[in-house]
Amino acid sequence: MNQTEERISQLEEHAAHQARTIEDLSDQLARQWKIIDGLQIKLDRLNERFLALEEASIEAHPANRPPHY
C-alpha cells in the first residue's frame, strides 16, 4: 500500500468514527428530549393541580375575622 492509499484509508476510518459518534449523540439527544417532554407534561399537570388546590383553599376559608375580635 502506498502512502496515498494509506492516508485515504486513515481518513475514511476517521470519517467513519465521526459518523458513528454523531449518530450516538443524535440518539442520546432524542432520548433526552423525550424525557424533557415527559417532565414538561408532568410539570404542567402538577401546576394545574396546585392552582386548583390553591383556588379551592381560598374558597374554603373566607377572609372573615375570627369570633374573638
Q: Residues 34-48: pLDDT tens digits?
A: 999 999 999 999 999
Distance CA(15)–CA(6), nearest Å, equals 14
Residue written as cell 468514527? 17
> Looking at the whole model, is its pTM more than 0.85?
no
DSSP string, the chain: --HHHHHHHHHHHHHHHHHHHHHHHHHHHHHHHHHHHHHHHHHHHHHHHHHHHHHHHHHHS--PPPTT-
Domain ranges of the chain: 30-56
Whether 1 shows a pLDDT value over 80: the answer reads: no
Length of the chain in terms of residues written? 69
Q: Taking all residues of the chain, what is their mean pLDDT, rounded to a whole number?
A: 91
